[in-house]
Structure 1
């Protein structure tokens, strides 16, 4: 039996250092939902290389600050960039 090196369309597959971005996105979204101090229903969470990006709309400027703090407190998050708006 011959084993070939794994490839994806001829390219070596990516390997992630640390948690997979989807797991980190889920953890941050869950933390925002569980906090109870903000309405995260219009907040999108994406992640790239440990940086979490928050986009969307929340109810007030104070909720923006709380969302950033909650996201930053999740294990594995290296930085948080917010493009949240209030209103």
Structure 2
């Protein structure tokens, strides 16, 4: 498989500064996506300053805890507010 450099209309995409909430959201969402033992497909990430709000649903209580741990491990995150619920499908 060959990976090409990311471009936007032939130009390097602009990245926000690390202090920008959108960049922090991107970093947290990335860590949630690659965290082992966590299916974060239905998890939302919203940042206000350096505070991260997690929402949505996961299948188990362990995934709720894992999501908070993954978000807390991102550089620049001062506080994580975890409002992730457990989906009814995962309660079986």
Q: How many residues align?
A: 70
Runs of 4+ in 1 over 6 A off after TM superposition: none
Please give the residue correspondences for 1:5-20 in structure 2 after superposition, counting only pairs within 5 Å: 19-20=19-20
User: Structure 1: where are the runs of 5+ without partners?
Assistant: 1-17
1:36 deviation in Å?
2.9
Q: Give the TM-score taking structure 2 as reference length.
A: 0.73
Counterpart position of 1:49? 49
Q: Give the TM-score taking structure 1 as reference length.
A: 0.77
CA distance, structure 1, for counterparts of residue 21 and residue 63 of structure 2: 24
Residues 32-69 of structure 1 show CA distances to partners (whole Å, capped at 9, x for unaligned) of 00113111110010000100000000010110000000
Counterpart position of 2:65? 65
CA distance, structure 2, for counterparts of residue 57 and residue 36 of structure 1: 17
User: Structure 2: where are the runs of 5+ without partners?
Assistant: 1-17, 88-92
RMSD: 1.0
